[in-house]
Structure 1
Amino acid sequence: MKINQLKGGVILSYISMGIGSIISILYTPVMLRLLGQSEYGLYNLAFSVVGYLGLLNFGFNSAYMRYYSRYKVNDDVENIEKVNGMFLILFSIIGLIAILAGTLLIFNIETIFKKGLTPNEINTARILMMLMVLNLAISFLGSVFTSNMIANEKYIFQKIVDILGKVVNPFLILPLLLMGYKSIAMIIITTIITIITNYINVWYCLKRLDMKFKFDKFNFTLMKEIWIFSFYIFLNMIVDQINWNVDKFILGIFRGTAGVAVYSIGAQLNTYYLSLSTSISSVFVPKVNRMVASVDDNKQLTDLFTKVGRIQFIMMFFVLSVFVFFGEYFISFWAGSGYEKAYLIALILMTPVTIPLIQNLGIEIQRAKNMHKFRSIVYTIIAIGNIFLSIPLCKVYGEIGPSIGTAITLIIGNGIIMNIYYHKMVGLDIKYFWKEIGKFIPSFIVPVMVGVWFKSVIGIDSMAMFLVGGVVYSIIFILSIWFIGMNDYEKDLLIGPLNFIKSKVCKRVN
């Protein structure tokens, strides 16, 4: 059953991601035109500011996974119930703190953005932030239940609920936008959906997973251990917020909502790119924790790290190369006039982030080994450097400047320092990892040549050429990677489900 949950989780993760991406691709152009560049930029600015309150999570989700897995391996029911109770209290307190901190932030919004926003925009931003803070507090309260579902590898139900939420959201929001309602209506609908999905998750955990809580004899020793473990994840969360949200914050101060809107389009495409990788690695988190808790064999961990990394690299390189050759026309068609710089912004962000994306299982290995302290400290230092780089770059290069600052820090932190740490300290064979990744290079030669030919010689200047070029490039890439790049294990991942479906169909026919 666990294997089915694992495979089902991966499949549904990509279905969820695909549905979310398709909806967003179709929905965003309509939203851009109905909201206008200024309101869209304001919406993203408010979202990025409130996003910093997400740091109040302190990394407790990962801590829950680690300690739940530790007791689950030993079938320690009493301590599992105590962990459930402890984390429910923690997330409830965090939700309350989020409301208090958000209230303080809302009262000071005029002081923060008086140079970049008009009085009307400040009033709208204040309302948006109030609703976003409420949404965040509700999400915090439901975190322990979501984490419990993941720890028990109940991916299928969780992903189905996630998919339904993504599908329903635009169908409720779009009519309101067409009736003239703006970003405030969007957040109201999103908050309602958040409440409903959290209620469903709570019901599933209590009724189907028989999740129980113990609140007596609060274990302060364990709490101290959890806090030390989570603190460095918290530092890493600060880095993520700086890398992906501080650019909008800086643009909001120095360039106003129009600059935020342009950057947000590029950042949104980068977000799609990020989710493509994490959809696979996220379902291996419980397995990594079990492996470390029971065996802690670095060779086995390296093999898993490399297998997942190769699969991720195939997808990441395909998407990145498609965007390089066909993304410029897509953005001009999709977002419309005034968003041309978003192509370069997205490209600058996506290229360096490819390295950590194909190695993101390593983050979970570090956490399972309780060796994530170094990464968090290094990333914190580099994130501060990102701020100091992005401010002058923003003043000189506008919307593109902050993305350059982010890219430089990603290359230094993720590309160089962390690979050394993985190899020297964590015990993963990084030389073997990159040797296996390098085996793909011959399979990329022909597809890249075809892509360059389409972009530079033929030119992508119409939807017909965009579609024809995209299909031709995809076919050539798939054939090349299949016959030259993929190994037997990777081919079997595709052939296995197809053979299973074929056998089922043949049985029914016979």
Structure 2
Amino acid sequence: MKIKMNQRKSGVILSYISQMIHILSGLIYTPIMLRLLGQSEYGLYQLVYSTVSYLSLLSFGFTASYMRFYSRAKASKDEGEVGRLNGMFITIFMIMAIVCLFCGMVMVANIESIFAEGLTANEYSIAKILMTLMVVNLALTFPNSVFDAFSSAHERFFFQKLLVVLQNLMNPFLALPLLLLGYGSVAMVSVTTFLTVAKLTTNIWFSIKKLQVKVVFNGFHFHLLKEMWVFTFFIFLNQIIDQINWNVGKFLLGRLSGTAAVAIFGLGTQINSMYLQLSTSISNVFVPRVNQIVATTNDNRELTKLFAKVGRIQFIVLSLVLSGFIFFGKEFMIFWGGEGYGNSYYVVLLLIIPVTVPLIQNLGVEIQRAKNMHKARSMAYLFMAAINIFISIPLINTLGSVGAAVGTCFSLVAGNIVFMNWYYQAKIGIDIVYFWKEIAKFVPGFILPIVTGIAFNYLFEMNSLLEIAGLVLIYAMVFGASMYLFSMNEEERQIVKGPLRRIIKKRDGRR
């Protein structure tokens, strides 16, 4: 038990380290990569990547079902059953990999039809190479995901997260020298594919030699496939929705506006992806608590208080980043991305402002799943994602990359904010009025940061990244102090005081 607890703690720590490395490497490596590639080739890379990523839907959400069925087979204490389950999952995902390769090669052969007149002859030549490599890389991720699931099932989180950390570290270090030598986006994808092969090889070795995973390729219980499909269907719908919301804009821009517009939109979505990562680490800690409440008392008042408590903590973190980006983001995007990426600022705002609401409410997703009431959310999001496609086309024709962001913004507001807040109140039993009253208590804490942000924009020209970084640091200190003094409750203040007390005690102990 102690070993498993240590594995969980190590896994959590490495997960945070991995996120930090991913964000920092993006902030440091991306501007170098943008200047070495140029806007056109970066846009081409983003366009091909967003198109190939739709093939990931071939997993149909089955990866998420392994843990459920493994736990059930393990509980029966039948090692043969566990082996057959492992064999069936490996077989299924190998078939998926083969189908992915076949579909990908069809896409490569018909690449001119996919992108219509959006690319030049030279861009089509590079796009074919990129697409071929990306398809191979994606096909390898299917069996890779099964061996990742084996590590999770055996609670070997340290090994699993260590691989992710190494992958995030090695990617820019291996790609950058090749970019400097002039190999372009092909080198980037080649490095990614090489690392995927290395990860798959390591995963297979670890599963066989260290975990001694039993695999049996006969005697499958095919009736399990139907049960798995029922379990994963709405997870599959969510995957479709994510693909539409975050990638369809790039595809439509590629067909209608060209690679430069894709590059501007793609850089904005990269910042958005970093923003999305900030919220999940906090809410994930409370998932067991949600399931415990639903399983024992199903007390909606208790769930509402927990929902608001977590939402307030997430709001503090996200509102700091959001407000800081509003005040300093435009100059940052120009210095970070380059002169041609000024419109990426508006793309980012149109994405992160509406997505902030579902992010501070993402514990509600776990409440829905615990109550088995998550189907309506998936169907509503699917409908709004389809609307996103239809309204984005005319908007792209008039506003380019910003138009694609407006379409996604509309989808997020209508589905993730309006519908979901009604659904929480009317169907789930969460007191959403109480939630927003709790969030509204932060208003006094915003007065000083807003005044500071406006003053900084009026007084300083922000002529370098170093100057922007200094102003952001001061702004963050003002924001934190103002929230602590005027908006945080006593429990939130204790969260801040706890680490400070430990630091002071350690310092005093050394004297």
2:374 and 2:397 mapped to 1: Cα distance?
Answer: 35
Which position in structure 1 is the counterpart of 2:470? 468
Tell me which moved more, 425-434 or 36-45. 425-434
Q: Which residue in 1 is equivalent to 2:221? A: 219
Match in the other structure for 1:339: 341
Whether 1:483 aligns to 2:485 is yes
From 20, 23, 29, the equivalent of 1:21 is: 23
- 1:444 touches 1:477 (CA, 8 Å); kept in 2? yes
CA distance in 2, matches of 1:326, 1:70: 51
Counterpart pick for 1:117 among 116, 119, 127? 119
Look up the match of 2:144. Answer: 142
SS at match of 2:339: coil
Instruction: Report the counterpart of residue 237 of structure 1 in structure 2.
Output: 239
Look up the SS of the partner of 1:338 in the other structure. Answer: helix
Looking at structure 2, the residues matched to 62 and 315 of structure 1 have their Cα atoms a distance apart, in angstroms, of: 29
Q: Give the conservation status (yes or no) of the 8 Å contact 1:50–1:132.
A: yes
1:363 is displaced (CA, Å) by 2.8
Identity of paired residues, percent? Answer: 49
Q: String of CA shifts for 1:433-455, please: whole Å, max 9, x gaps.
A: 33433333322222122112222
Counterpart code for 2:176: L
Match of 1:412 among 394, 414, 425: 414
Question: What amino acid is aligned across from residue 144 of structure 1 in structure 2?
Answer: V
Question: Would you say 1:158 and 2:160 are equivalent positions?
Answer: yes
Q: CA 1:414/1:150 → structure 2, altered by over 3 Å: closer, same or farther?
A: farther
Please, which of 309, 327, 349 is the counterpart of residue 351 of structure 2? 349
For residue 341 of structure 2, give the secondary structure of its aligned residue in structure 1. coil
Deviations 1:200-225 (A, max 9, x none): 34444455555444555433333212
| Alpha-carbon spacing, 1:99–1:495, altered in 2? closer, same or farther (3 Å) | farther
Give deviations 1:456-486, integer Å, cap 9, x for gaps. 4545344454233211111111222233434
CA distance in 1, matches of 2:507, 2:85: 46
Aligned to 1:262: 264
Q: TM-score, normalised by structure 1?
A: 0.90
Provide the residue aligned with 1:102 in structure 2: 104
Post-superposition CA distance 1:146-194 (Å, at most 9, x none): 2344456544433332122111111111111111111111111111111
Aligned to 1:297: 298
- Work out which of the residue numbers 4, 29, 32 in structure 2 matches 1:30: 32
Question: Quick one: structure 1 residues 169 and 452, their matched pair in 2 at CA, closer, same or farther if it must change by over 3 Å?
Answer: same
Give the conservation status (yes or no) of the 8 Å contact 1:292–1:368. no
- Which residue of 1 is the match for residue 43 of structure 2? 41
Q: Distance in 2 between matches of 1:483 and 1:152?
A: 46
Q: Which amino acid aligns with 1:297?
A: N
**Any idea what SS the aligned residue of 1:371 has?**
coil
Say whether the 8 Å CA contact 2:140–2:196 is kept in structure 1.
yes
Tell me by how many angstroms 1:426 deviates: 3.5
Deviation of 1:289 (Å)? 8.9
Q: Which SS does the other structure have where 1:122 is aligned?
A: helix
Matched residue type, 1:353? V
Distance in 2 (CA, whole Å) between partners of 1:220 and 1:13 is 35
Moved more, 243-252 or 458-467: 458-467
Structure 2 residue runs of 5 or longer lacking an equivalent are none
Distance 2:239 2:343 in 1: 28
Q: Distance in 2 between matches of 1:219 and 1:64?
A: 14
Shifted more, 42-51 versus 498-507: the winner is: 498-507
The structure-2 alpha-carbon separation of the partners of 1:168 and 1:320, relative to structure 1 and needing over 3 Å to count, comes to same
Aligned twin of 1:378? 380
- Tell me how far apart the structure 2 counterparts of residues 491 and 214 of structure 1 sit (CA, whole Å): 54
**Structure 1's 144 and 434: CA in aligned 2 closer, same or farther, altered over 3 A?**
farther
Q: Deviations over 1:230-287 (max 9, x none)?
A: 12221221111111101010110011111111111111111111122234445666x3
1:314 equivalent in alignment to 2:316? yes
What letter is aligned with 1:233? I
Separation in structure 2 between the aligned mates of residue 45 and residue 355 of structure 1, nearest angstrom:
28
What does residue 248 of structure 2 align with?
246
Matches of 1:411 and 1:80, distance apart in 2: 44
In the alignment, what sits opposite 2:361? 359
Pick closer, same or farther for the CA change 1:307–1:13 going to 2, 3 Å: farther
Indicate conservation of the 8 Å contact 1:57/1:94, yes or no. yes
Contact 2:83–2:215 (8 Å) recurs in 1? yes
C-alpha distance 168-475 of structure 1, shift in aligned 2 (>3 A): same
The residue aligned with 1:278 is: 280
* Residue 437 to residue 156, structure 1, CA distance change in 2 (3 Å): farther
One-letter identity of the residue aligned with 2:137: N
- Partners of 2:432 and 2:384 in 1: how far apart? 22
Q: Is the 8 A contact 1:233 1:372 kept in 2?
A: no
State the 1:52 CA deviation: 0.6
Instruction: Find the counterpart in structure 1 of residue 457 from structure 2.
Output: 455
Report the Cα distance in structure 1 between the residues aligned to 2:485 and 2:45, rounded to whole angstroms: 46
| Structure 2 counterpart SS, 1:115 | coil
Shifted more, 444-453 versus 366-375: the winner is: 366-375
The CA RMSD over aligned residues, in Å, is: 2.9
Q: CA deviation at 1:46?
A: 0.6
Q: Which amino acid is 1:416 matched to?
A: V
- C-alpha separation between the residues in 2 aligned to 1:296 and 1:115? 59
Number of aligned positions between the proteins: 507
For the Cα contact (< 8 Å) 2:290–2:303, is it kept in 1?
no
Return closer, same or farther for 1:324/1:153 CA change in 2, 3 Å cut-off: farther
Partner of 1:192: 194
Q: Please, which moves more after superposition, 415-424 or 32-41?
A: 415-424
* Equivalent of residue 326 in structure 1, options 322, 325, 328: 328
Shift of 1:18: 2.0
Deviation at residue 328 of structure 1 after TM alignment: 0.7
Residue deviations 1:100-137 (CA, integer Å, cap 9, x gap)? 11111111111122311012211211111111111111
Partner of 1:444: 446
**Which residue identity is paired with 1:337?**
E
Q: Is the 8 A contact 1:251 1:394 kept in 2?
A: yes
Would the aligned equivalents of 1:288 and 1:364 in 2 still touch at CA under 8 Å?
A: no
The alpha-carbon deviation at position 490 of structure 1 amounts to 4.0
Q: Are 1:454 and 1:460, in contact at CA under 8 Å, matched by a contact in 2?
A: no
Q: How does 1:495-506 map to 2 (within 5 A)?
A: 495-496=497-498
Distance, in Å, in 1 between the alignment partners of 2:243 and 2:198 is: 27
Counterpart CA distance in 1 for 2:447 and 2:57 is 42
| Partner in structure 1 of residue 61 of structure 2 | 59
Pick closer, same or farther for the CA change 1:5–1:360 going to 2, 3 Å: farther
State the alpha-carbon separation in 2 of the partners of residues 447 and 77 from structure 1. 60
Distance 1:485 1:207 in 2: 54
Query: Counterpart of 1:340 in structure 2: which amino acid?
Result: G
Which of 420-429 and 86-95 deviates more?
420-429
1:47 counterpart letter in structure 2: Y
SS in 2 for 1:163: helix
Q: TM-score, normalised by structure 2?
A: 0.89
1:126 corresponds to which letter in structure 2? K
Counterpart code for 1:120: N
